[in-house]
């Protein structure tokens, strides 16, 4: 059965600009957060290459250090570190929305969830530091 | 400064300019702005300003509104680019102006400030936002509902936040994912699905997951979070969607790990 239309309405569809993400601060932060994933991937690759060279030989380790000290790698790493910090801060602050943590039937306060992640990060970082410097 | 004698109590002197989108499909090829000066009164909202225009200045202006008290969800528009209930956006907060009033973003414009909401109306029932039961415990011999399903305050608390949605669609106007891909189910519909999933009286989670687990369901969301920021009733649709993703991911892992009968 066809539904009769009372009137034919000519609607106007507003096109969405390619630059929509520059129009609002929150959209911009969102796009930067998404972009930060590329730099996370870069650091994973960097770390794996580092561990691999350590495992191979002392000469390979030295080669890796020389390569890592070249200006363009240093520049990339400084930018990547900034994006990594953004990645951590933004995702940590979003966690309470995604996780419904209940303690004794009560909803855990968002600040407690965020703080516990930073504590976790500090513990893991301290362990890694202890592992490589002992 | 002492108030101007002779003026109405509570009124401010002066006026504020509204830049209002006009679009008449029978004659206009695209929307344009028209400016109106309205009295700047402390207690007036943008909706009051529009009603002043409609009543006193230009009767051809079209816009939706009903309750003017944040209950009905009809008067959502983009005010200076932000999706707002115009009945809750005070002119005074935008002084000295001008205030740009546009139809809700991401929806087709029917006329002036009126948008076509059919897409949302078609999506809403797809998530089955009603209580679904496996059993018919409350049906008496004649098939009539007899009695009520009891619920503790804690059980009510589990979903209450998500039940505050008034279908104003501000979250759709704020969502760039919906703007770029109109197939996306959208924040309010998914939050309402979560509202019924979390209801202790409901058994329909499985049925809703089948709809929402699709790409145009929860996985379309990239967690911009703007839906939650613009929601006038603090529903937190972004939170609902992320929780749904966790559920959907668990479902996938279970399906992979467990034998068929054990799920």
- In chain A, what residues touch B179 (CB-CB under 8 Å)? 16, 20
10 Å CB burial of residue B208 (0-12, 13-18, 19+) is buried
Q: B52-58 — which CB contacts under 8 Å span 24+ positions?
A: B53/B18, B53/B20, B58/B34
Instruction: Give the DSSP H/E element, type plus range, for residue B115.
Output: strand B114-115
**pLDDT, tens digit (0-9, with 9 covering 90-100), for B157-166:** 989 999 999 9
Residues 6+ positions from B106 with CB-CB distance below 8 Å? A16, B172, B173, B175, B178, B179, B182
| Same-domain pairing of A67 and A132 | no
**pLDDT value for B225:** 93
Q: Locate the domains of chain B by residue range.
A: 11-115, 118-262
**pLDDT, tens digit (0-9, with 9 covering 90-100), for B88-113:** 999 999 989 899 999 999 999 999 99
B243: how many CB neighbours lie within 10 A of its CB?
22
**pLDDT value for B6:** 40
10 Å CB burial of residue B37 (0-12, 13-18, 19+) is middle
Rounded to an integer, the average pLDDT of B240-257 is: 87
**pLDDT, tens digit (0-9, with 9 covering 90-100), for B209-224:** 888 888 889 999 999 9
- Establish if A10 belongs to a structural domain: no
Q: What is the ipTM, given to two decimal places?
A: 0.82
By residue range, what is the domain housing residue A107?
100-134
Give yes or no for A123 touching B (CB within 8 A): no
Interface contact B242-A97, CB threshold 8 A? yes
**pLDDT value for A5:** 58
- In chain A, what residues touch B239 (CB-CB under 8 Å)? 97-98
| Residue B13's pLDDT band (cuts 50, 70, 90) | low
Interface contact B225-A26, CB threshold 8 A? yes
| Same-domain pairing of A62 and A114 | no
Interface contact B239-A98, CB threshold 8 A? yes
Q: Does domain B11-115 have CATH number 3.30.70.260?
A: no
| Residue B248's pLDDT band (cuts 50, 70, 90) | confident
Interface contact A30-B224, CB threshold 8 A? yes
Chain mean pLDDT for chain B: 90
Nearest partner of B23 among B106, B101, B111, judged by Cα = B111
Total of domains in chain A: 2
Nearest partner of B172 among B108, B242, B90, B86, judged by Cα = B108
Q: Which residues of A99-114 are buried (b: 16+ CB within 10 A; e: fewer)?
A: eeeeeeeeeeeeeebb
Nearest partner of B201 among B142, B159, B243, judged by Cα = B159
Can you give the pTM of this predicted structure? 0.87
3-state secondary structure of A120: helix
Interface contact B179-A20, CB threshold 8 A? yes
Please say if the pLDDT value at position B257 is more than 80.
Answer: yes
Contact B10, B41 (CB under 8 A): yes
Distance CA B158, CA A100 (A): 10
- Establish if A8 belongs to a structural domain: no
Distance CA B62, CA B114 (A): 7
| Same-domain pairing of A69 and A109 | no
Please say if the pLDDT value at position B262 is more than 70.
Answer: no
Higher-pLDDT residue of A66, B10 = A66
Count how many residues are written for chain A: 134
Give yes or no for B222 touching A (CB within 8 A): yes
Please say if the pLDDT value at position B5 is more than 60.
Answer: no
Interface contact A12-B224, CB threshold 8 A? no
Give yes or no for B236 touching A (CB within 8 A): yes
Interface contact B236-A11, CB threshold 8 A? no
| Same-domain pairing of A29 and A61 | yes
- In chain A, what residues touch B228 (CB-CB under 8 Å)? 97
**pLDDT value for B9:** 44
Nearest residue, CB atoms, B176 vs list A11, A20, A94 = A20
Interface contact A27-B224, CB threshold 8 A? yes
| Same-domain pairing of A75 and A54 | yes
Nearest partner of B38 among B96, B83, B87, judged by Cα = B96
- Establish if A79 belongs to a structural domain: yes
Give yes or no for A97 touching B (CB within 8 A): yes
Structure tokens at A83: 């994006």
- Establish if A29 belongs to a structural domain: yes
- Establish if A83 belongs to a structural domain: yes
Contact B15, B98 (CB under 8 A): no
Give yes or no for A26 touching B (CB within 8 A): yes
Instruction: Give the DSSP H/E element, type plus range, for residue B109.
Output: strand B109-111
- In chain B, what residues touch A100 (CB-CB under 8 Å)? 243
Cα torsion A95, B120, B20, B89: sign:
negative
Q: Does domain B118-262 have CATH number 1.10.1060.10?
A: yes
One digit per residue, pLDDT tens: chain A, 134 residues? 455 556 667 899 998 999 999 989 999 999 999 999 999 999 999 999 999 999 999 999 999 999 999 999 999 999 999 999 999 999 999 999 888 888 877 788 899 999 999 999 999 999 999 998 98
Nearest partner of B198 among B166, B243, B228, judged by Cα = B243
**pLDDT, tens digit (0-9, with 9 covering 90-100), for B60-73:** 999 999 999 999 99
Contact B91, B46 (CB under 8 A): yes
């Amino acid at each position: 059965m066809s539904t009769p239309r009372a009137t034919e309405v000519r609607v106007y569809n507003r096109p969405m600009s390619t630059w929509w993400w520059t129009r609002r601060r929150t959209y911009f932060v969102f796009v930067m957060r998404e972009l930060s994933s590329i730099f996370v991937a870069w650091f994973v690759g960097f770390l794996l290459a580092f561990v691999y060279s350590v495992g191979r030989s002392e000469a390979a380790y030295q080669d890796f250090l020389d390569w890592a000290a070249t200006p363009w790698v240093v520049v990339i790493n400084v930018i990547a570190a900034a994006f990594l910090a953004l990645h951590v801060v933004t995702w940590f602050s979003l966690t309470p929305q995604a996780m419904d943590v209940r303690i004794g039937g009560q909803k855990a306060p968002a600040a407690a969830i965020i703080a516990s992640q930073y504590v976790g990060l500090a513990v893991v970082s301290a362990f890694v530091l202890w592992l490589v410097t002992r | 400064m002492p108030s101007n004698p002779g003026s109405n109590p509570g009124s401010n002197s002066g006026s504020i300019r509204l830049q209002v989108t006009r679009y008449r499909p029978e004659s206009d090829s695209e929307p344009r702005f028209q400016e109106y000066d309205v009295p700047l009164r402390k207690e007036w909202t943008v909706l009051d300003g529009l009603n002043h225009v409609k009543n006193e200045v230009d009767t051809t202006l079209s816009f939706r509104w009903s309750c003017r008290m944040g209950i009905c969800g009809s008067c959502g528009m983009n005010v200076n680019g932000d999706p707002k209930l115009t009945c809750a956006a005070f002119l005074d907060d935008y002084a000295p102006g001008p205030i740009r009033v546009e139809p809700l973003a991401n929806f087709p414009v029917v006329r002036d400030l009126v948008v076509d909401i059919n897409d949302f109306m078609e999506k809403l029932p797809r998530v089955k936002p009603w209580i679904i039961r496996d059993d018919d415990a409350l049906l008496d011999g004649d098939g009539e509902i007899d009695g009520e399903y009891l619920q503790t305050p804690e059980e009510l608390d589990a979903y209450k936040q998500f039940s505050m949605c008034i279908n104003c669609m501000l979250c759709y106007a704020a969502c760039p994912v919906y703007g770029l891909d109109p197939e996306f189910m959208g924040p309010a519909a998914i939050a309402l699905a979560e509202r019924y999933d979390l209801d202790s009286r409901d058994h329909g989670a499985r049925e809703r997951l089948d709809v929402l687990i699709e790409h145009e369901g929860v996985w379309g969301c990239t967690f911009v979070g703007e839906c939650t920021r613009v929601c006038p009733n603090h529903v937190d649709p972004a939170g609902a969607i992320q929780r749904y993703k966790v559920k959907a991911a668990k479902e996938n892992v279970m399906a992979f790990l467990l034998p068929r009968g054990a799920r």
